[in-house]
Chain A
């Protein structure tokens, strides 16, 4: 007995499960959840803001955030799950409804009956004094002018026909849905099999290690990237950059395999990996000459050729100065000092930070040490900052875009409209006309075409 019953339960469960996934209600719930999660994502701190956010909060909040990956909602397991369920939902809905739609789309229209015409909302019946053959010719002309395809049937004393256009537009909504599915598939493919990061290469140097945006990990590209030249193009009579670009050479081993220009808004592709001009900066080239001046007399007391990290003793014989680094855009309490050398002096056991902006040589006087330091002579070189992306899903996504926009256009702005017509011979040179129009949307236009037809017959009699 059990054996007979069990398939029944499974079947019922199967049907219920199918109904669940093929329901429009689920779609609306998923849309709402995804939208709400996205709203939350724009207000919650991201990975960078995370540390500051959790600092003064109890531990469980941090654990809760971590469990649901709330610092990275859009890549969290549950967000991805919601999107995948939406994909399944879409597939089930399509499979549920497509067979019916295909039946309509693939079936040739049948001749209308008088009762069918009378059952429609937008219809008209009238007597015409033209004969049937003339009227048939007129009808053909009319449908041609409306770009409708005519299927005509003649049986003795009556002529009946169905004319229609746009039957295939009924598939538009599925084209849009297919496009949306492709977007999901392409997005997943890109997340699973792609990467995204950045590589900084000083002019005339070579690099191959990319720092990933996600988790700051590093990967080796497996080939060398050389920046042979970097250039900034400015607006006329202005310092505002108009564009910037890098001349790049790719090579595996010794052989240069590809040369090209990476410009803002114009990336370069090599080995399926995209290189995008995303920024630039300056690095120190060689050593810098730093001079020490007497604070009282402004007399030059010493001169040091320094590398970043070097330490020297100032002319008083006890104060030590260490040069840290060169910063192309040094910010101090909201002010941009521009190109600046930073370091510190060690005087009587106390460390005092030092900033030496190139554009303001006397800046170090504010420190009020016995000497103030000025960077005198140095050279810099540009480095180019290239974003490096590999996304095998991008073509799937692009075809998704195409199907989605085409599908939206067809399903909302085109329609399947039909026109039903019967001529009935009713005595000498008199024909009874039954006609009606129907469509799957924009039904107000049906009234129009019916009266158009009436006027057409009337005026061409």
Chain B
């Protein structure tokens, strides 16, 4: 299986990229930041190549489907989304700490995909209920949303732990932008999921744990977006709320699969 090999290479590149950003953050060495960014783009390209290879391999096996349907594949795609988003915003919001946190999350996702026994890397045929074009749209929108929230999580951590508010430029703007980006895509993810559920299971909403947790996440970020208009919500409170939001994201993604059972138990 060449795709898993390529994807493990991507994992290592991400790891080195994260290391570079950490060195930049701690020792304030700009050169390492540039190297980190270069490695991030290299990791992203490798990651994407692995994704495409996996897609092609599934056709060679006679299964023929886009690799977006189990824990392993979703982690791989999550890493693509996260690395892509940070690469796009890098120029405007170059911030070593956020780079370090984001690439670490991306690296951990890939490492978890490669090492965890619950993330099986074998390409298996799709069960009938997943054979739908909605799968692609649903997974892509959800994971773009999650990736946006991951970057906002990094920004929020920085907002909470920096004493000097003027040290980082545009930090609040970055946090807000990533939240609205994530919120739009999470909304689209929930909506496409609902439309798909309506056609596959006959009901657009059945309060299964995954659905419910995605809605909880949506509500937390809705609070963040509305709290901006309230006087007594400081930027740190909002940053804390956005961290709660990301915990909800993680629970929607992992917690539901391992703790609660539901219609999504295969993903």
Contact = CB atoms under 8 A, between A and B. Distances in A.
Interface footprint category on B:
35 or more
B220 A413 contact: no
Given A38-B216, A242-B128, A244-B128, A412 B226 contact: no
A240 B219 CA distance: 39
B131 interface: yes
Contact of A265 (B132, B191, B194, B204): B132
B184 A401 contact: no
Main secondary structure of the interface of B (DSSP, over half): helix
Contacts of A210: none
B180 A412 contact: yes
B201 A413 contact: no
Interface stretch (B22-30, B49-57, B158-166, B207-215): B207-215
A404 interface: yes
Interface string B149-188: 0000000000000000000000001000000100110011
Interface in A264-313: 264-267, 274, 276, 278
A242 B216 CA distance: 33
B172 to A, nearest CB: 12
A242 B127 CA distance: 6
A164 B177 CA distance: 23
A387 B201 contact: yes
Contacts of A34: 219
B216 A404 contact: no
B125 A238 contact: yes
Main secondary structure of the interface of A (DSSP, over half): helix
B199 interface: yes
Interface in B63-102: 63
Given A24-B229, A42-B260, A444-B173, A413 B204 contact: no
Contact of A413 (B180, B188, B205, B207): B180
B173 A413 contact: no
A401 B131 contact: no
A189 to B, nearest CB: 13
A260 B216 CA distance: 39
B21 to A, nearest CB: 25
The 10 closest A-B pairs by CB, nearest first: A276-B202, A35-B219, A264-B128, A412-B180, A387-B202, A389-B202, A265-B132, A401-B191, A74-B207, A42-B209
14 contacts: A35-B216, A38-B215, A38-B219, A39-B216, A41-B207, A42-B256, A187-B205, A241-B127, A242-B128, A278-B202, A387-B202, A394-B198, A401-B194, A412-B183
